[in-house]
A and B are shown apart, each in its own frame.
Chain A
Amino acid sequence: MIALLIRDLRLAVRAGGGFGLALAFFLITCTLVPFGVGPEGGTLSRIAPGILWVGALLSCLLSLDRIFALDHEDGSLDLLATSPLPLEGVVAIKALAHWLVTGLPLALAAPIFGLLLHLPGPAYVTLVLSLLIGTPALSMLGAFGAAVTVGLRRGGLLLSLLVLPLYIPTLIFGAEAVRRSAAAAETTTPLVLLAAITLFTLALVPFAAAAALRVNLR
């Protein structure tokens, strides 16, 4: 499992594209928003929590199809499926690798983007915390979507249609936590619920994703 993780990380970093792309996309999203809504600090800081979370969501979505597509093309996915490692484990590791190269950098870089959007002072810690808690669920659900669409020729668009509705609960609690802390309110409840969704996703979705992969490898 460790070997698979290291292999996936190496591929992601060396093959280019996936690693920096999500961050660059996030930056562009945050740059475009002020052009859309105007540069007034008040408006921006009011919508910043939502924009940051939606931006993180979309940047996560961007690299999802790479989770399985390349391995499916060159046949290594079949090898992984016949290896002693259970397919559920493969899915979990691949989601972890995806999170390490997209979710984690996003969460760590988010304060800079918050600065661009005039995010109110007390919200920075919650922003990082909520992204750290929430993005693993995004990667795991994305792995499920990628597993469902792996054999399809034009899976990309379908993938977003399938995965984005699944992201709604995570988005609600994540953005709510940041919004509450921006208003200097108590944030434990949304953060705990966010963590609950992430844990639930991590526990059960690998099975669904592995089932979908088995169908696609048949």
Chain B
Amino acid sequence: MSLWEYANPTKFMRTSGAVLPFVVAAAVLSCAGGIIWGLSVPDDYRQGSTIKILFIHVPAALMAINVWLMMLVASPIWIIRRHHVSALAAKAAAPIGAVMTLIALITGAVWGQPMWGTWWEWDPRLTSFLVLFLFYLGYIALWASVEDADSAADLTGVLCLVGSVFALLSRYATLFWNQGLHQGASLSVAPGERMSAVYRYPLYLTMLGFFLLFLALLLIRTRTEIRRRRLAALLARENRA
């Protein structure tokens, strides 16, 4: 089993079709379990009940970045080796990543209002997430506006590579520009800053849940893209005949 076997859409469809129900079930179970567990934890002594937003906010933020990373890996695989499924997977991933970024921003705002007294602050982390969202928008818009499928995959692939570099640059440039309110790493391993186990374990579960959710959505969307491509090919053949 190698990545290159799945460049064959038929093979990808067969395997992903077999795996999909299990991924969906696992995603639903771990998301629901994690969120219910998260809602039942005791209130934090400083943050009160707003700590429960954490169980959506942190996994969404994590996936917002990881989805872009996945696109960053998928793009060169397409550009260099013409792995069609890889290009379609990157296309399918972008809207999921954009929504994850939006969820992270919105839940962050909802949490920030009672905690920091403001919905929005030009903090480096917040700002770089907004920038990431803009990059997602540009990427999606470019996919939508190029008609030829292969050219669109090429152009968005190049954009993803260039965009990654500049998203990263913006991340550190904003750090230079403004010192923020947002705390550092949420899951620091340093003993003094470590989050209490009461909050940590449900958080791990929702993080796993969001990852599985992304995987399930990605598989579904990629399968849709492949079917759409097949349909277009069939229609083109019919028109020729």
Contact = CB atoms under 8 A, between A and B. Distances in A.
Contacts of A184: none
Given A152-B146, A154-B145, A215 B155 contact: yes
Contacts of A154: 145
Nearest to B151: A215
Contacts, number: 75
B159 interface: yes
Interface stretch (A2-10, A108-116, A204-212): A204-212
Given A148-B159, A218-B151, A197 B138 contact: no
B170 A165 contact: yes
Interface stretch (B43-51, B112-120, B161-169): B161-169
A173 B172 CA distance: 11
Contact of A212 (B131, B141, B155): B155
Given A154-B145, A168-B166, A208-B158, A162 B173 contact: no
Given A158-B145, A161-B138, A168 B173 contact: yes
Interface residues of A, number: 28
B121 interface: no
A172 interface: yes
Interface in A97-153: 144, 148, 151-152
Contacts of B107: none
B134 to A, nearest CB: 4
A208 B161 contact: yes
B148 to A, nearest CB: 9
B226 interface: no
Given A148-B159, A162-B159, A176 B135 contact: no
A193 interface: yes
Contacts of A39: none
Given A158-B138, A168-B173, 12 more contacts: A148-B159, A161-B137, A165-B135, A165-B163, A166-B162, A168-B131, A172-B173, A193-B176, A205-B162, A212-B154, A215-B151, A216-B151
10 cross-chain pairs, A with B, having the tightest CB-CB distances, nearest first: A215-B154, A169-B173, A169-B169, A172-B173, A165-B134, A168-B170, A162-B138, A166-B166, A172-B177, A161-B138
